[in-house]
Structure 1
Amino acid sequence: MEKAILYSLLDHEDLERPQLYKWLSYTEVSGPCGLLLNHALKEFMEIEVSENVLQVHLNGLLQTNEKIALKEITRQLNLDNVVGDKVFGSFAENLSFLLEALQKGDRTSSCPVIFILDEFDIFAHQKNQTLLYNLFDISQSAQTPVAVIGLTCRLDILELLEKRVKSRFSHRQIHLMNSFDFPQYLKIFKEQLSLPAEFPDKVFAERWNENVHCLSEDSTVLEVLQKHFSVNKNLQSLHMLLMLALNRVTVSHPFMTSADLMEAQHMCSLDSKANIVHGLSVLEICLIIAMKHLNDIYEEEPFNFQMVYNEFQKFIQRKAHSVYNFEKPVVMKAFEHLQQLELIKPVERTSVNSQREYQLVKLLLDNTQIMNALQKYSNCPTDVRQWATSSLSWL
């Protein structure tokens, strides 16, 4: 089961059922966190009067902005006829109107709503975190019993929340981790590869399953699986390893070998950030090298775009004939692209009025990653390579 966190973001007496939190905090499970949540909610709805508890399921991959999310909330609450042609000034007014429409009177007779936000980190990346803020803000009203549960694989999710959103968060976090040992992991490996009894070609299925059994006892395969298990034992990672190994199976090579698994392990262990660097432009490579030198000079203290640009200009002045001198707005675009790729990260969340060129950032690549990536970077100018290997920045 992949690492995940269930966030019960709001606390309300109407929904604070011991059974629900008991199930949600149970970590000895083998299925995805979504299955656990669905099972908990199913049993919760059987205990409670299901007609009096409403569920709204949203997914960050589908509800990509607040307008789409609001339409989906309206649809799932069956309030299309209530909204009609009404015009609202803001998202908050519209959401408040929807929840007020569910109220029958006082707090005891209001209809509780559970919001389940899958891919929660994507909602945190939406502009101004409008949906999250308004859900939490409405929850402060005694007349609106609301609970929100977020599911995400990101362990740094709290760092993505704005201060106004984080202040309304109950900070209740539940981490779900796999608890099986290596023998169980090896058993799963065999089960995932084995062909079922109903496979059309009985002879091939028998030979394939015999090969899988032999692989599970091969010392080289056991070493590969042990390394993979030690780094990341979630099943999604194991499936990726097996998929890469199975891609090498062909008509002329019908059975998987230990060499296939070794090659798959090598591909899984490749540095993803270094691979991203291979696809960057020469200008973006130059900016990364400039940031590398700034890290060396200032001992990895945060820096801003203006400092990077000045460092780049020093190099251009020194090697004016080898690298084109781009205009500053073009360099800024390249810098922002590196931020989108998460190769650099802002130290603090930017405000509306802050100047972009003076926003403090940190480089998320170390010197080894940069140099290894440059070795595999095709058509990189010689002067750029020499600049990267120089121990001091150009003065």
Structure 2
Amino acid sequence: MAIDQSGTTGTPDADEDEPEDIVMSVRDARVSFDMARGQAWVLNDVDLDVRRNEILAVVGESGSGKSMFASALLDAVEDPGRLAGDVTYYPDEAAGESQTIGSFDEGLDDSVDVLDLDPDELQAFRWEKVSMVFQGAMNSFNPTMKIKAHFHETIQAHNAVLEERMDHVRKLFDALYIDFDRVMTSYPHELSGGIKQRTLIALALVLEPEVLVMDEPTAALDLLMQRSIISMLRNLRDEFDLTIVFITHDLPLVGGLADRIAVMYAFEFVEVGATRDLMKNAAHPYTRSLLRSVPSITSDVDEMEPIEGARPDPVNIPTGCSFHPRCPVADDRCEIEDPDLAAVEDDLQAACFYTDQAREQIDYTLEDESTGDDR
């Protein structure tokens, strides 16, 4: 399902999103698994551009396809899953040869077909150009190794200059408010959950990738630590010229962080837009229902309404609009036709035939950190 910047359906034209403004482009990406009861689709022909130096939040219920999209960006879908489509990385031409830090030697003037990389190129690409902090990654440290050894091992595996990279790590630790000397000489079990998560972020950035993909990075942290991580990420983006793709099920959490939000339902994107526009006046009934289910200190508990029904079975995705069995504004057309993402406002697209009706019938109140307003 394509995002059309001009307001018509279809794939964005190159003239509408210049390549230098895009760091990664995904087209017709699909992931399937063969199961005893049939083929399961966990990513369903999705299209999305990731803009350079933005913070993009990918949001949806558990099982909506968010993590599969994140894995697709790095061609990291595990067997027996099958990934098809196109994933393209566009190097930052303005950075020139100085961007080459490790062993990845693709021409910096050319786009990179991520799904066409050989295993050695892919391993280098995943750390040096696009890096990822996986869900539950706080448990991925080797408990028998001190933190310093994890950094040294990664740097040496990519043939980077150890002293130069460790100087960069000091800057990362300063930005993440980590005590370099104490943490480097510690074992993982000696660190709190918040410090381990921040250290993992630094490890992911040790080779200065352009893109950092984060899969539910705050899910295992308490609310105070979540807010602490969120506040640091924008500073990291600005200081180190990062692009961040932030995967989460918590839409309000990223209201004060993300530049854009992409909402997933049933393994595809149903709404994409600027954070302020989407949070203040979402257009898709699923997005509005998500926001309506969020607790608020200014609204009555009775106004909170969970989304009725169950999320789709990946083996048996509904025909037409996949949200129609749970949608309060759906009609017979929605059961047959599958709407494309189309422009609702300048920087807001939704895959729905009845966005006006959704806005009229599904109201919500949200304390939105990105706007300071209630809706």
- When the two structures are superposed, what TM-score results if normalisation uses the length of structure 2? 0.28
Which structure: greater strand fraction? Answer: 2
Which structure: greater helix fraction? Answer: 1
Larger radius of gyration: 1
* Structure with the larger RCO, 1 or 2 (CA within 8 Å, 6+ apart): 2
